[in-house]
Structure formats: C-alpha cells, structure tokens
Structure 1
Amino acid sequence: MTEKLEKDKQMKIKLLLLLFVMLFLFGCSNEKNKTDKTEAPVKETTNQTTSNDIDKIFNAALEGNIEIVKKFLENGFNVNTQNQGGQTLLMLAGFNGHTDMCGYLIKKGIHIETRDSDGRTALMYTSTGPFAQTIEFLLKKGADANAVDTKEHWTPLMFAAAEGQYEVVKLLLDAGADTTIKDVDGDTAESFAIQNKHNKVVKLIREYK
C-alpha cells in the first residue's frame, strides 16, 4: 500500500509539471486581463490590445525576449495582467530561468507574490527548474520561500525537491524554507525527494532539520 501511494505521488508531481508546460504553450490563446486581487487596481491595458497581442507578450516573457515585452509595456500594456490560468509574465519568465526578464518586470512594478488559479507564485514556477541564479534573485527581491499553494499545499521547496534541483533546494533552505510543512497528503519536501530517489537532496534537507 505504501509503495502504491508513493508511486501515485510521483505520478501526481509529474502530471503537475506537465500541466505547467502545457499551460505555457497553449494557455495564452484565451487570455483575459485581470489585476492582482490582493493589490490596488492598476491601469487597464489600452482598448487596442488584442488577444493576439497578449499571446505575443506572454510568449515573449516565456522566451526571455525583453525587447518585445518592453515595447508592449511602453505602449500601455498592464504589467500585472494575468492569463486565464492566473499566470503572470513573471511566472513565465521564472519558469525558464530568465533572470534579466524577471528583473525588468519587477522594475516595472510587477507583483512578486501574485498567485495563479491554484495559488502558486512565481517562485514556485521557478523552483521546478535548475535556475539557481533566478531563485536567488527572486528571494533577494522578497519572494516568500514558505508560500503554500491553495490546491495541494505545496511549497517552492517541495517543487524543487521533487525535481532534484539541489542548488535551488539549498538556496531555499538558506532563505529559511520550512522543511516540516506538509501537503494535503501529509508529505514534506523530504518525502518528495525520497519518492523520486534524489538522495543528495534528501541528505541536504536533513542537514537543515
């Protein structure tokens, strides 16, 4: 029974990461503008902005193309626009480790702690990849290492541990990431690393307990 539960957890993690990729590749086709509900309303984009325009800027953020993003923002595009899944430009940039893009967006006023429809932050998106530099940058800018999503109760540390991202895990731990937080199934970041056989990550997490 225990082995089956562990296999189910591994599959759940893999499916979630696959969903991330699918949302990035196809989610922009039905974009809609909305401001961060936790912040004061921001200026809306211009009436001339089309769904195709929104596709272009979100894809540019994903690809790290600052010039395209800069052009749209200079023409009045709302930097805090979220797509249908609640994702932001910062989440897309972080997912692919585009540190310079993240810096530009933050300079332009994007909200670091905005949540997507599952309550996930840009730091969580970034934690799934081998992007230690981007993680370090976001943490220095105030990203919450102990943010917990509203769907699975996952943290940035859990995402990184599940993927075996050693350097990312270390940065999060150094930033005070809580190793004792449990998800809806009662698993911790250490559990994720064990289930996916990331032994070095398991050892690292235990050193911080």
Structure 2
Amino acid sequence: MNSKKKHQGNDPAVELACQIAKRRAALQRRDDLADHLINACRTGSLPLVRTLVAARADPNSSRVLGTPLGEAISSRASVVLIEFLLGVGANPNLLDQNGYSPLFLAADIDYSAATLLLLSQGAEANAQHPENGWTPLMAAAASGSVFSLIELLGHGAITELRSFDGLTALDLAKANKQLTCARALLIHKKLVKLR
C-alpha cells in the first residue's frame, strides 16, 4: 500500500492521468445534470427543477435537447417554473442549438403569459434568427399567435424588420392566411402614424 502511494506521489504522469479522469467525471456530471434539467423543464416538474438547480445544474446550458427555458416554454410549463428559471439566472435571450430564443418559441405557440414574462425580464423583442432573420413578431404573425403578437407590439417590436428573404411580419401573416394578425399589424401601423 505504501508503494502505491509513493508511486502515485512521485509519478507526474499518474498524477496527470488522475486529474484528467477527475475532470472528465466532472464534465460528464455537468452534462448529465444539464440533460436532466432540460428534461425536467420539458415535463414541467418544478420540484425536480429546483432539486437539479440546487445540485448545480446550469440554467443556461444549451444542449442538443434544447435549453431549460426553451423547453419549459415549448412544453407550456407553468409560469411559476419559468419565473423560477429566470430567478436563478436563466438568460431570456439564450439561443438553443437551432438558433431559437425562448421569446421566439413563446411567440410561435402563442404562450402569451410567457411572452409577457420574457419581455419584462429583458428578452429582445427584435432579435433575428441567425439563419432566416425571423423575429418573434414574425413567428407570431405567421402562426396566428395574436395574443403574443399584441404583447410584442406593446413592447416595441418593429413591424418593418425584414427576414433574410425580405418579408415583414405583415407579409408572413398574409402568406399564412392569419387575417387577425394581419389586421392587428395594420391597426398598429396606423396608430403609430397618428402619434
């Protein structure tokens, strides 16, 4: 036993191998915690999310599975769970690995309570998707998410921004036959001109 300790203490290669093994284990644990947190957010389990965050799961992890905040929103988890994630430092502008922000996801599915919460916590209303240039307003207009569209307009979303294909939110609403969203955008445009 003494020869083992002596050997480990004197051999830099063995010490380095031990350090590398410990780092790998720590990185694997971090990745596992992130995956578990994302899955817990997807299922909407606030107690499990709290437990994982207490175990040092990163609320800003971005994995193939998504981000904790993005998955909570996509699965329409409770606003309480979303507030908790934001309260422990989840970034409302963190893109998932497909380039979608939490606000984009909320606007696309008309989760207006999440849209409002994200906007109040600093989510960028005019952030454009890195591949197509769509904004949360464009997503709301194209999918007929009128309540989220109204929240976005109320928080300064710019109606004249264009996607990389040159389309505005109004163009997308019309192309997708989302007449209520198209009307809301036209009314907003008229109101802005009156100011």
Q: If you compute each CA radius of gyration, which structure gives the higher value, 1 or 2?
A: 2
Q: 1:186 aligns with which of 144, 166, 188?
A: 166
The answer for the alignment partner of 1:204 in structure 2 is 184
Instruction: Indicate the structure whose relative CO is greater, using CA pairs within 8 Å and at least 6 residues apart.
Output: 1
Partner SS, residue 49 of structure 1:
helix
Letter of the 2:97 counterpart: S
Aligned pairs for 1:134-173 (under 5 A) are 134-173=114-153
In structure 1, what residue type is equivalent to 2:146?
A: Y
Aligned partner of 1:110 among 71, 85, 90: 90
Tell me how far apart the structure 1 counterparts of residues 165 and 27 of structure 2 sit (CA, whole Å): 45
Task: Note if 1:77 corresponds to 2:54.
Answer: no
1:68 to 2:48 alignment: yes
Amino acid at match of 2:84: Y
CA contact (8 A) 1:113 1:144 kept: yes
TM-score normalised by length of structure 2 = 0.77
Q: State the alpha-carbon separation in 2 of the partners of residues 159 and 46 from structure 1.
A: 39
Q: What are the Cα deviations for residues 98-132 of structure 1, in whole angstroms up to 9, with x where unaligned?
A: 22111001111111111233432110111111311
CA distance in 1, matches of 2:133, 2:30: 35
Is contact 1:46-1:77 (8 Å) kept? no
Quick one: distance in 1 between partners of 2:30 and 2:87? 25
Query: What's the TM-score once normalised by structure 1's chain length?
Result: 0.72
Structure with more of its chain in helix, by fraction: 2
Structure 1 residue 54, shift from structure 2 partner: 4.0
Aligned pair partner of 1:96 in 75, 83, 106: 75
Is the CA contact 1:129–1:165 (under 8 Å) kept in the aligned structure 2? yes
Amino acid at match of 1:136: L
SS of 1:208's partner is: helix
CA deviation after TM superposition for structure 1 residue 67, in Å:
1.0
Check whether the contact 2:110–2:148 (CA below 8 A) recurs between aligned residues. yes
Whether the 8 Å contact between 1:96 and 1:126 is mirrored in structure 2 is: no
Q: Tell me, what secondary structure is at the counterpart of 2:91?
A: coil
> What is the percent sequence identity of the aligned residues?
27
1:60 and 1:147 map into 2 onto residues whose CA distance is 27
**1:84 Cα deviation from its structure 2 partner:** 2.8
Q: Which runs of 5+ in 2 are unaligned?
A: 1-24, 190-195
Question: Is the CA contact 1:62–1:93 (under 8 Å) kept in the aligned structure 2?
Answer: yes
1:120 aligns with 2:66: no
The Cα shift of 1:208 comes to 1.4
The answer as to whether partners of 1:118 and 1:150 remain within 8 angstroms in 2 is no
- RMSD over aligned CA atoms reads 2.0
Give 1:52 deviation, angstroms. 5.5
